[in-house]
Amino acid sequence: MINKQALIDRFLSYVTIDTESDPASDATPSTEKQWDLANKLKEELETIGMSDVSIDENAYVMASLPSNVDHDVPVIGFIAHFDTTPDFTGKDVKPKIWENYDGGDLLLNTEENIVLSPEYFDDLKQYKGQTIITTDGTTLLGADDKAGITEIMEAMQYLIAHPEIKHGKIRVGFTPDEEIGRGAHKFDVAKFGAEWAYTMDGSQIGELEYENFNAAGAIVHIEGKIVHPGYAKGKMVNSMYIATDYINSLPRLETPEHTSDREGFFHLYSIDGSVDGTKLEYIIRDHDKEHFEARKEMMIKLANELNSQLEKEVVTVTIKDQYFNMREKVEPVMHIVDIAEEAMKALDIKPLIKPIRGGTDGSQLSFMGLPCPNIFAGGHNFHGRYEYVPVESMMRAVEVIVKITEITAYRQNNITS
């Protein structure tokens, strides 16, 4: 039986450590404060009795749980990231615990009247009667992905305390900078030494994902010309007007707020503008590789058309691929998804197999030779003040990890016997 209070205490100890990453930094980890949790995790892994515990110069933490069976079992891994998004502050997180949730509104912050309501966030309704952990409305919570870290740690401690549960060698890994797309960049797959792994980085209970967006980032620079407005006729070029034309020329309904499932989008997430120059920052997403390439081509074509109309090159577009759809790497080894699905069903958890409208370390790791489907960690409303996680979902995730290790060992024994 998973110890509920111990799980809560562990989770709270993680989310109250500020680990926000920084896309403007070239260092790994991108912020020094990520070391605070990385070092804590290393110490805790040693304390609970894990083997081969290490932390490298880039704050990647790894450890092993040795096999307790006498037959060969594939080495499998579980991975989570410890940074939080720079999209919304993760400093001074003050978690609130709501026991026996009554199904109504949760007043996160009285002074600012910040309310988490099931009328707007209807997923809340399925957790009536459970224990919910939220923010106080002024920060994110950090369940993405400190819930995943908590679950992996609790599962390893549980397996150590219950040697009667048979399993092969298990590797765990905790990474920095996933939220800025660099979580797997310096992950040593050979050192990790697993045949496959699972990221514990999904959302609601039951999620099981093995396909994700193809992703790229785009920066659009528009060059203007500043002149005194009283003498500007025929001379001034206002870059912000050109930027507006560029923005409005992309498909308005192909944005995150108008798409779902496997539909791709263009997402304008930052504008920095003046008369003299404007910078637009986009992310480009699509599950379909051909559509993904077409989106990148559209952004470049639009810049060329505007330059042609203006008869000068004032718009430039720089596009950088970030990660690709892991499906092509996972489908040849679909038994690793089948094992996770079997584990959930054995625990009476309904598997929700669907594409990720985002990416995880697993998408990059799959292309680095470590096939890596994604499993629920239990949280909702990531990257903002309304983030929450049901404790019971985290407990079930721990059970799934344990069951996966058990099924993997059992399957291999049947194959070899």
Same domain, 185 and 255: no
CA distance 385 to 395: 23
- Examine residue 29 and say whether the peptide bond preceding it is cis (omega within 30 degrees of 0): yes
Task: Tell me the residue range of the domain where 341 lies.
Answer: 4-212+325-416
Same domain, 230 and 181: no
CA distance 300 to 281: 14
Same domain, 45 and 185: yes
Helix and strand counts by DSSP (H, E) for the chain: 10, 17
Looking at residue 315, its pLDDT comes to 98
What is the pTM (predicted TM-score) of this model? 0.88
Same domain, 202 and 236: no
Residue 129: Cβ-neighbour burial (10 angstroms; 0-12, 13-18, 19+): exposed
**Token pair of 17 as six digits:** 């450590």
Same domain, 12 and 82: yes
Same domain, 108 and 237: no
Residue 388: Cβ-neighbour burial (10 angstroms; 0-12, 13-18, 19+): buried
Same domain, 289 and 379: no
Looking at residue 105, its pLDDT comes to 97
Same domain, 365 and 339: yes
Domain boundary among 306, 323, 340: 323
Same domain, 125 and 25: yes
| Average pLDDT of the segment spanning 280-308 | 97
Looking at residue 274, its pLDDT comes to 97
Confidence of residue 323 (pLDDT cuts 50, 70, 90): confident
Helix (H) or strand (E) holding 395: helix 391-416
| pLDDT over 70 percentage in the chain | 99
Helix (H) or strand (E) holding 197: strand 196-202
Which one, of 88, 79, 356, lies nearest residue 209 by Cα?
356
Say yes or no to pLDDT of 178 above 80: yes
Same domain, 60 and 195: yes
Which member of 18, 20, 44, 83 is catalytic?
A: 83
CATH number at residue 239: 3.30.70.360
Which 3 state secondary structure label does DSSP give 184? coil
Catalytic status, residue 305? no
Which one, of 114, 303, 325, lies nearest residue 210 by Cα?
325
Confidence of residue 411 (pLDDT cuts 50, 70, 90): confident
**Token pair of 335 as six digits:** 């038994």
Domain count, the chain: 2
Q: Answer for the pair 132, 118: CB distance below 8 angstroms, yes or no.
A: no
Domain boundary among 323, 351, 368: 323
Q: Answer for the pair 146, 154: CB distance below 8 angstroms, yes or no.
A: no
Catalytic status, residue 195? no
How many Cβ atoms from other residues are within 10 Å of residue 407's Cβ? 17
Confidence of residue 413 (pLDDT cuts 50, 70, 90): low
Which 3 state secondary structure label does DSSP give 208? strand
Say yes or no to pLDDT of 14 above 70: yes
Same domain, 205 and 227: no
Say yes or no to pLDDT of 417 above 60: no
Which 3 state secondary structure label does DSSP give 356? strand
Residue 370: Cβ-neighbour burial (10 angstroms; 0-12, 13-18, 19+): buried
Which member of 18, 20, 178, 209 is catalytic?
A: 178
Which one, of 121, 219, 154, lies nearest residue 2 by Cα?
154
Which one, of 156, 113, 157, lies nearest residue 136 by Cα?
113
Transcribe 229-273 into DSSP letters.
GGG-TTT-B-HHHHHHHHHHHS-TTSSGGG--TT--EEEEEEEEE
| pLDDT tens profile 103-140 | 999 999 999 999 999 999 999 999 999 999 999 999 99
Which one, of 180, 374, 163, 371, lies nearest residue 283 by Cα?
180
Confidence of residue 356 (pLDDT cuts 50, 70, 90): confident
Say yes or no to pLDDT of 189 above 60: yes
Same domain, 73 and 172: yes
Which 3 state secondary structure label does DSSP give 407? helix
| pLDDT tens profile 229-243 | 999 999 999 999 999
Which 3 state secondary structure label does DSSP give 44? helix
- Examine residue 22 and say whether the peptide bond preceding it is cis (omega within 30 degrees of 0): no
Looking at residue 416, its pLDDT comes to 46
| pLDDT over 90 percentage in the chain | 94
Looking at residue 414, its pLDDT comes to 60
Confidence of residue 169 (pLDDT cuts 50, 70, 90): very high
CATH number at residue 128: 3.40.630.10
Domain boundary among 323, 341, 364: 323
